[in-house]
A and B are shown apart, each in its own frame.
Chain A
Amino acid sequence: GGIITQTPKFLIGQEGQKLTLKCQQNFNHDTMYWYRQDSGKGLRLIYYSITENDLQKGDLSEGYDASREKKSSFSLTVTSAQKNEMAVFLCASSLDWGDQNTLYFGAGTRLSVL
């Protein structure tokens, strides 16, 4: 088995601040994802990456940057935190970018912006 590790678990930022969330996986999976989960809403895809150094925009990419410099890691940057923003950011991975793959999720990073 493998594991997805997200750091930090909790992130408190200031309005306008640039914030970086990190994700590591040891499944040796090709594809990694960043989702945002807001209270009462579903998961919305921010960015995904089908292989090292690849980036694909999801439905919610505006206001975010991502980086996949190694196969095992995928970082997400909030370019300018919005006041009173609260959400959970979930990292996930899957075997490859083909069809039918099961996603494996990390425990999440909870963001609060003061």
Chain B
Amino acid sequence: AQSVDQPDAHVTLSEGASLELRCSYSYSAAPYLFWYVQYPGQSLQFLLKYITGDTVVKGTKGFEAEFRKSNSSFNLKKSPAHWSDSAKYFCALEGRGQGGSAKLIFGEGTKLTVSS
């Protein structure tokens, strides 16, 4: 099976706090994991990805994510959070489609609201 779970549909915090958005995955092989962000009224943009190597990966806009094989997680972090970080965040796993070609499998997303 190949799936992604984002258990928190909504996260609210105050500007200046630390944010951590949770993501867990299920995949039988070594995973390639991604985070994308969707700002209000816009389409999805790539934030960062984990392929191999260092378990903490840094991306754009000051975000980083930590890959933990032990509990199949890939949580997104940023400190401090800014009101402009308010958006919907999607975690994704690169799975396999028909014929073995790669395809991205997305979680349901977490809507982050940062109040100023």
Contact = CB atoms under 8 A, between A and B. Distances in A.
B99 A99 contact: no
Given A42-B108, A99-B32, A99-B94, A108 B102 contact: no
Given A42-B108, A56-B98, A100-B94, A90 B44 contact: yes
In this complex, the interface size class of chain B, counting residues with CB under 8 Å from chain A, is: 20 to 34
Given A99-B32, A100-B32, A107 B107 contact: no
State the main secondary structure of chain A at its contact with B.
loop
Interface stretch (A14-22, A43-51, A71-79): A43-51
Interface of B: 4, 6, 9, 32, 34, 36, 42-46, 49, 51, 90, 94, 97-99, 101-109
26 contacts: A40-B9, A40-B108, A41-B108, A41-B109, A42-B90, A42-B107, A45-B103, A48-B101, A57-B98, A58-B97, A90-B43, A90-B44, A97-B101, A98-B102, A99-B32, A99-B94, A99-B102, A100-B51, A100-B102, A102-B46, A103-B36, A103-B44, A103-B104, A106-B43, A107-B43, A108-B43
